Amino acid sequence: MHIRGGSSKGLYFLASDLPSDTQERDQILLSAIGRDDRQIDGLGGGDPLTSKVAIVGPSLRPDADVDFLFVQIVVGENRVDTTPNCGNILAGVGAFALEAGLLKATHPCTLIAVNMLNSDKLCELIVETPDGNITYDGDTSIDGVPGFSAPLICNYLDLAGAVCGALFPSKHFTDTVHGTDVTCIDNGMPLVLIKASDFGLSGRESPAELNANDELKQRLETLRLTLGPMMNLGDVKAKSVPKMCLISAPTQGGLINTRTFIPHVCHAAVGVLGAVSVATACLFKDTVTAGLVAMPQGDTVTLSVEHPSGEFSVQFHLDRSQNLPRVDKAGVVRTARLLSRGTLYI
């Protein structure tokens, strides 16, 4: 099936329809999405946000309903990356599991526990299924997607260090690398935060403007390659993480403003887990967000992360019983839609 999940879209496969040999599997996925930068001979759209794959099957974990593996096809490089997860493609997993008959829907909603294989963490999806049938119609709008659809809730449990093994994998709130202050964080997505002003930018530039700035992209890549091993990710030359996020003060009443490189192209919006990781950094006073953000107070907080095409709100349930706050649950609202189902020729 071809499904829009949040502000991305991808091909969703039943795990049982793909070979278990990963090399053979990856060749099929590359042929399906496309191998060149325009992906002219496949179904991708030449953009990282439309070059994604979900592989879904029944879960062996007693506390999960389905297993989900996310695969990023790296545009124009004829290779795949399974290191990060993707919160947008995850949003379509509930629809796929129901449409494919992996699960039976209940009325009026269906709760689906997804085991995210990329990180071995759980996410609860709450999908609208009136009378036991999935509906895509509704009045919820998300930035980056035109129109309105049925809302679906994604509640992430225990994301800290999902990919890098620790929330602050470099063991510091702030590091200074090549003369630049950075915060390395992983609350679901490995991210490097840098103040836009450190590069002489306002942080309000358009993605097109930033994508045309070769000197900026070179400086970001130099930092990324140095920070990869410090974040327990090893050599990240061929990996799509860490993503690089330029931060600045909010301009629309939100918590913080962002421009995220994923990792070489500036995102038109912000990734789901990317937004969760940025918002998490804002809870700690010694990260590079200090001075830019009003520190969130309270145990349940809704935080708005501004991005080039609007804002993305995350709701955190915090445990403040220890010295430092801990995000117990991160909730986001997304929408998804089945675009097509059929036979793929490779």
Binding interface with ligand NQM (CB under 6 A): 7-8, 48-49, 86-88, 189, 243, 262, 267, 271-274
Cβ–Cβ under 8 Å, residues 334 and 152: yes
3-state class of 118 per DSSP? coil
Closest to ligand NQM by CB, 83 or 170: 83
DSSP letters for 281-313 = HTTSTTSTTTTTSPPP-SSEEEEEEEETTEEEE
Closest to ligand NQM by CB, 129 or 280: 280
Residue of 202, 143, 173 whose CA lies nearest to 6: 143
With CB atoms as reference, the residue minimizing the distance to ligand NQM is 271
Closest to ligand NQM by CB, 217 or 267: 267
Residue of 124, 30, 152 whose CA lies nearest to 82: 30
For residue 339, the minimal CB distance to ligand NQM (Å) is: 15
For residue 3, the minimal CB distance to ligand NQM (Å) is: 13
Closest to ligand NQM by CB, 105 or 145: 145
Cβ–Cβ under 8 Å, residues 134 and 91: no
For residue 132, the minimal CB distance to ligand NQM (Å) is: 29
For residue 241, the minimal CB distance to ligand NQM (Å) is: 8
DSSP letters for 242-255 = SEEEEEE--SSSSS
Q: How far apart are the first and last CA of the chain?
A: 15
Closest to ligand NQM by CB, 129 or 243: 243
Closest to ligand NQM by CB, 8 or 129: 8
φ, ψ (nearest 5 deg) of residue 56:
-130, 140
For residue 261, the minimal CB distance to ligand NQM (Å) is: 9
> What torsion, rounded to 10 degrees, do the Cα atoms 220, 208, 308, 203 define?
50
Q: Which two tokens stand for residue 9?
A: 């879209």
Q: Name the DSSP class of 59.
A: -
For residue 265, the minimal CB distance to ligand NQM (Å) is: 9
**Distance (Å, rounded) from C-alpha 217 to C-alpha 266?**
10
Give residue 304's identity as a one-letter amino acid code: S
For residue 62, the minimal CB distance to ligand NQM (Å) is: 26
For residue 130, the minimal CB distance to ligand NQM (Å) is: 27
Residue 310, strand partner residues: 307
**Distance (Å, rounded) from C-alpha 23 to C-alpha 327?**
36
Q: Name the DSSP class of 187.
A: B
Closest to ligand NQM by CB, 105 or 247: 247
Closest to ligand NQM by CB, 35 or 239: 239
